[in-house]
Copies of this chain bind each other. A is one copy, B any other.
């Protein structure tokens, strides 16, 4: 057995409205970091939910439970030197704070990033057609429209993807990770 020095793991937690650009930024950041060989794992809320939380719906309790599960997985990865990029709507501050506490307990860094794209821009993009379905009365409980979104009060970074390019946002994230000694 040789002695290995682990890089500093961290979870970059991207929170924001549907279509704010969380998944786009997660993928672009992962692609930018990939050439370094650094271990990176994307935990995308939409992709993880059917695996870990198929029985959960969209009530506050169910959303919070889903966030807690993803957060716990992120903490296990981050404390083993992985850079985790979580892209999860995670509308409630208390649930996000709990994920931060789980990371603190695990000795892993937790960096909350608010993808603060304005609602009208998100509704215009409407990547998954959720805003249209809500307008048509086919969907209730859409975060930011007829369900609550609590913006982080003191995120490590706030990005407005309507005001900056994907490249600029990725650069800001890389700077943050450098400042935090993760990259």
From known contacts A37-B6, A76-B41, infer whether A1 and B55 are also in contact, taking CB-CB under 8 Å: no
Residue A69 lies at the interface, judged by CB distance under 8 Å to chain B? yes
Bound CA span A52–B71, Å: 11
Asked whether, in the complex, the Cβ of B55 is within 8 Å of the Cβ of A72, the reply is: no
Q: Which of B4, B6, B80 sits near A77, CB closer than 8 Å?
A: B80
Asked whether, in the complex, the Cβ of A55 is within 8 Å of the Cβ of B55, the reply is: yes
Asked whether, in the complex, the Cβ of A39 is within 8 Å of the Cβ of B183, the reply is: no
Rounded to whole Å, the gap between the CB of A61 and the closest CB of chain B is: 11
Closest to A48 in B: B72
Residues of B within 8 A of A81 (CB): 39, 80-81
Residue A33 lies at the interface, judged by CB distance under 8 Å to chain B? yes
Residue A165 lies at the interface, judged by CB distance under 8 Å to chain B? no
Asked whether, in the complex, the Cβ of B73 is within 8 Å of the Cβ of A183, the reply is: no
Asked whether, in the complex, the Cβ of A38 is within 8 Å of the Cβ of B77, the reply is: no
Asked whether, in the complex, the Cβ of B4 is within 8 Å of the Cβ of A7, the reply is: yes
Residues of B within 8 A of A33 (CB): 1
Asked whether, in the complex, the Cβ of A4 is within 8 Å of the Cβ of B38, the reply is: yes
Asked whether, in the complex, the Cβ of B37 is within 8 Å of the Cβ of A5, the reply is: yes
Enumerate A25-74 residues with CB–CB distance to B below 8 Å: 33, 35-41, 43, 51-52, 54-55, 65, 68-69, 72-73
> Which residues of A come within 8 Å of B, CB atoms?
1-7, 33, 35-41, 43, 51-52, 54-55, 65, 68-69, 72-73, 76-77, 79-82, 183
